[in-house]
Amino acid sequence: MLTDPLAVLLRFALYAVLGLMFGLLAFRKYSPMPTRLVGRQVIIAMAALGLVLSGTGLVELAARMHGLSLADVGMAEVATILSLPGLGTAFGVRIAALLATIAVMAIWPARGRTALMLAGVALVCLAFQGHAGATEGRAGLGHLLATALHLVAAGIWLGALVMFLAMSARGSQIDRGTLAASLKRFHGVGTMVVATLALTGSVAFLMIAGWPLPAAAFQSPWWWLLALKLVVFVAMLGLAAVNRFHLAPGLAAGQVHAVQWIRRSIMLELALGVFILALVAWLGLLAPDPG
Amino acid sequence: MSRLIAGAMLFAMAAAPAAAHPKLLASAPAEGAAVAAPGEIRLQFSEKLFSKMSGAKLVRADGKPAGAAEVNFAEDGKSLMLVPAKPLAAGGYTVEWYGVAGDTHRVTGTLHFTVR
């Protein structure tokens, strides 16, 4: 079942790094906080890691698709992958976007919006790896769009969780007022993120599984992993709701241990989010039909 | 907003299910068939295959060389044709095929038939 552990690991790492990089850049746009928490070195390091992962992923994919071992992959096999319409182009665009992100952050660090857009392009290119890249025609375009929005929304959530964790960490220089204001600012963004995830997730599910649901539903691991993903998603929603309706107002009202509770709940929410990324990394390599 | 949601869901429900690993749907000759020497062996798949990473090889069941055979793909990319350079001699044959489609999953399989 888990025939390609390296492929799953690389997909997971790419979702995490590119999603987080986009989410951190997005956070700087919608949240009032000192930018020193996420310096440009952090973004440059993440983009560089994204490049290494993408290069490794390209070789791994070439090996997997050609039925070769990693050591036997040559330039010809890599060139074949890059020449594939959609998938190959997306690889090239992603690598170019990551290089451009590094250049922008190194030369014009104030150009946060340009870096955000470039990081978004790199993240969205991941949609081509997996089920959305395999759907044909106009339906394929819809599937890609849904997956791209799903990635963007997930990235924003991931970035916000990491930022809130950093801001509520022990020894953080961020005062309670800034944290409370940041949490409050995220309320609207968070609602949009959850709505987008629910809608685009449902669309992608229907496009992969088919409607009406096939008779062979739940006869392959794909279904069970997806069900587990949904359960974890609902748990994240529960934690986010506790944060929004209970902990954040408590912080704003000056409750003594509010920061500590927020830190704990964000930590748990982040752990669940990372678990979902691992599930998705695996899900994308499985098919819903048992054959 | 509700229109957008309804539209998106209808679009998704109307689309044919995607993203299955490619599967061999049918072949001529069929699996296990005994036939007169075929001019071509045709394999029909469920998904469009990447021709650069898909193919097939003809081998004889008794281990003797089966002779050269050319591999072609139909325009829709879903059918693979194996055309032997010379008429096949009587005996058992195995087609060893492999294919990769858009979901990047490499599948392999075999097809057996007998030439009378």
Rounded Cα gap, residues A39 and A233, in angstroms: 30
Residues of A in contact with B50 (CB under 8 A): 65, 84
**Residue A145: which residues within 8 A CB-CB, separation 6 or more?**
none
Contact B102 A208 (CB under 8 A): no
> Taking the CA of residue A93 as centre, how many other CA atoms within 13 Å lie in the half-sphere pointing to its CB?
19
Contact B13 A206 (CB under 8 A): yes
Residues of B in contact with A139 (CB under 8 A): 11, 15-16, 18
- Domain boundaries along the sequence of chain A: 5-283
- Domain boundaries along the sequence of chain B: 22-115
Which of B15, B101, B104 comes nearest A207 by C-beta? B15
Residue B13, min C-alpha distance to chain A (Å): 5
ipTM of the complex: 0.84
Strand partners, A43: none
- Architecture of the domain spanning B22-115: Sandwich (2.60)
The 10 Å Cβ neighbour count of residue A152 is 22
Token reading at A201? 């997730």
φ and ψ at residue B82, rounded to 5 degrees: -110, 115
What SS3 state is found at B72? Answer: strand
Rounded Cα gap, residues A54 and A44, in angstroms: 15
Dump pLDDT digits (tens) for B96-112.
999 998 888 899 999 99
Per-residue pLDDT in tens (0 to 9) along chain A, 291 residues? 456 899 999 999 999 999 999 999 999 888 876 656 778 899 999 999 999 999 999 999 999 999 999 999 999 999 999 999 888 999 999 999 999 999 999 999 888 899 999 999 999 999 998 788 877 778 889 999 999 999 999 999 999 999 999 999 887 778 888 899 999 999 999 999 999 999 999 999 998 888 888 888 888 899 999 999 999 999 999 999 999 999 999 999 988 899 999 999 999 999 999 999 999 999 988 888 876
Rounded Cα gap, residues B51 and A140, in angstroms: 20
